[in-house]
């Protein structure tokens, strides 16, 4: 794109990660991004947006004065969206959306030059950044859409105007912000409401609130999961709990292998196959791409530490439904090894009034499954959980771990338990 005679190659909101030639967009939040314009220019920014005329003229970069930098970034995303002629896929849901984004990008990439969101770039900043940073020649894009209230998804759809919408699950995540699980469903369903008549809604048939969204869209609907248009049969796990299944689809039958732990990951793979198959990608090629898909960090990663202990790192975030799936994977890994199965857990955030009940229920479930619970900084998992104050105390409480033992690390993002997983994996 061009502005005042200057060509820019991509957009960044982080002066530390900016690449030479990019446009820098200072975001005004807890900190004022205008304070980092000089650093961005020193890093090679070709231009920068600015809502403070007093910051114009820093270095040799061109300054583009706007009223609101975040609104201007959204407009840039809308402009960049027009360059993509192939399918643009929006993915939302209470859980699983980042993994479905990763698998869908891989599956679509078997037939199209595909851009996708980095990590969990899924808000009013991440969605336009994904579109703006799509390279020349991009034929399709996969955009993740998060929400913390009703109306948020609708706004993101006004930027990305998706042709395809995928909804994974509606669960008790962010209840503190939404109010009720029905409000969560209302907010997530804004994605399918935005789709054009010739678009496609891909819905999880196993979630009644998601399946009901079929009535909220004029687009064609494909469902996945039990009783869906795409189903998985003969699900089996390998020695690190990665699932393989036979996927039956409208385009034929194919072996579906998922590169992440947990039987629940099969549904995520089916969603990705639905998008790719509907777009005309060869089914075998799409399945092969899913099997080798690069995935975002700290999501059901299984690694063996030098000590021999197996670490299941699912520390990026946590909700009750995701915790239950992680417990199942931990139990499956323990069954293969016969040693200890320890769930190192932190608090689940943003559950509102349901928080105490949900934490206690998971503590009881862990006890029923024979899992040890080590709770870091919270006593909400019940009397059977051993409570420790911090990461150092957690490491000490784990004691000597051997080759037969498995440790799950999981909590909401604010807890930062990925640091514990990293320490367990150190030599």
What is the torsional sign of CA 396, 322, 278, 118?
negative
* Model confidence at 119: pLDDT above 80: no
From CA 50, how far away is CA 65, in angstroms rounded? 5
pLDDT at 3: 44
Beta 406-410 vs 301-304: how paired, if at all?
Answer: unpaired
Grouping H, G, I as helix, E, B as strand and the rest as coil, residue 322 is helix
Class of residue 9 by CB neighbours under 10 A (exposed 0-12, middle 13-18, buried 19+): middle
Confidence class for position 1, pLDDT limits 50, 70, 90: very low
In 3D space, the residue among 176, 217, 216 whose CA is nearest the CA of residue 195 turns out to be 217
- The C-alpha atoms of residue 241 and residue 259 are separated, in whole angstroms, by 10
CATH 3.40.1190.10 residue window(s) in the chain: 76-291
Provide mean pLDDT across the span 357-386.
96
The residues of the chain that CATH labels 3.90.190.20 are 301-424
- Dihedral over Cα of 348, 353, 354, 359: its sign: positive
Domain 76-291 falls in which CATH fold?
Answer: 3.40.1190
Q: What span, in angstroms and rounded, lies between the C-alpha atoms of 310 and 404?
A: 8
Residues 6+ apart with CB under 8 A from 306: 425, 426, 427
Q: Which fold has domain 2-67?
A: 3.40.1390
Q: Which CATH superfamily is domain 301-424 in?
A: Mur ligase, C-terminal domain (3.90.190.20)
Q: What is the per-residue pLDDT across 164-219, written as a single tens digit (0 to 9) for each? A: 999 999 987 666 677 788 999 999 999 999 999 999 999 999 999 999 999 999 99
Q: Mean pLDDT of all residues in the chain?
A: 94
Is 67 strand, coil or helix?
coil
**Whole-number pLDDT of residue 225:** 97
According to the model, what pLDDT value does residue 376 have? 97
CA–CA distance from 311 to each of 155, 250, 406, 423 (Å)?
39, 37, 6, 11
- Centre a 10 Å sphere on the Cβ of residue 240 and count the other Cβ atoms it contains: 18
Rounded Cα distance, 32 and 199, in Å: 39
Average pLDDT over residues 40-58: 93
| Model pLDDT for residues 228-284, shown as the tens digit of each residue | 999 999 999 999 999 999 999 999 999 999 999 999 999 999 999 999 999 999 999
Between residues 59 and 34, the one the model is more confident about = 34
The model's pTM is: 0.92
Average of per-residue pLDDT across 68-91: 97
State whether the Cα torsion 360-366-367-368 is positive or negative.
Answer: positive
pLDDT computed for residue 177 by the predictor? 72
Identify the H or E element spanning 100: helix 97-109
> Which regions of the chain carry the CATH code 3.40.1390.10?
2-67
Give residue 427's pLDDT: 81
């Amino acid at each position: 794109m061009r502005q005042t005679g200057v060509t820019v190659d991509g957009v960044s909101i982080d002066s530390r990660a900016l690449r030479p030639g990019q446009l820098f967009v200072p975001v005004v939040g807890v900190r004022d991004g205008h304070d980092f314009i000089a650093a961005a220019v020193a890093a090679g920014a070709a231009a920068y947006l600015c809502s403070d005329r007093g910051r114009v003229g820093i270095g040799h970069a061109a300054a583009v004065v706007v009223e609101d930098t975040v609104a201007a970034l959204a407009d840039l995303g809308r402009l960049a969206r027009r360059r993509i002629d192939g399918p643009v896929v929006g993915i939302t849901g209470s859980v699983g959306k980042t993994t479905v984004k990763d698998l869908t990008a891989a599956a679509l990439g078997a037939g199209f030059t595909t851009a996708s969101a980095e990590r969990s770039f899924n808000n009013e900043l991440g969605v336009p950044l994904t579109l703006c940073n799509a390279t020349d020649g991009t034929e399709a894009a996969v955009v993740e859409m998060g929400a913390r209230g009703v109306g948020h998804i609708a706004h993101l759809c006004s930027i990305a105007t998706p042709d395809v919408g995928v909804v994974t699950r509606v669960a008790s995540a962010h209840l503190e912000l939404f109010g009720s699980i029905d409000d969560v469903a209302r907010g997530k369903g804004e994605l399918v409401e935005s789709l054009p008549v010739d678009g496609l809604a891909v819905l999880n048939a196993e979630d009644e609130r998601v399946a009901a969204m079929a009535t909220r869209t004029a687009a064609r609907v494909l469902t996945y999961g039990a009783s869906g248009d795409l189903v998985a049969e003969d699900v089996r796990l390998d020695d690190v709990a990665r699932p393989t299944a036979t996927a039956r689809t409208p385009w034929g039958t194919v072996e579906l292998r998922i590169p992440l732990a947990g039987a629940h990951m099969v549904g995520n793979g089916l969603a990705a196959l639905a998008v790719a198959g509907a777009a005309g990608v060869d089914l075998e090629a799409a399945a092969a791409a899913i099997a080798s898909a690069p995935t975002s960090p700290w999501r059901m990663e299984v690694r063996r530490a030098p000590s021999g202990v197996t670490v299941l790192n699912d520390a990026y975030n946590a909700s009750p439904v995701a915790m239950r799936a992680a417990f199942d994977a931990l139990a499956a890994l323990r069954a293969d090894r016969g040693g200890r199965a320890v769930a190192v857990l932190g608090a689940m955030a943003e559950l509102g009034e349901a928080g105490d009940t949900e934490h206690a229920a998971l503590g009881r479930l862990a006890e029923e499954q024979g899992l040890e619970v080590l709770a870091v900084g919270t006593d909400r998992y019940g009397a059977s959980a051993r409570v420790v104050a911090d990461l150092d105390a957690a490491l000490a409480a784990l004691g000597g771990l051997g080759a037969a033992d498995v440790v799950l690390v999981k909590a909401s993002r604010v807890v930062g338990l990925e640091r514990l997983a990293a320490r367990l994996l150190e030599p």
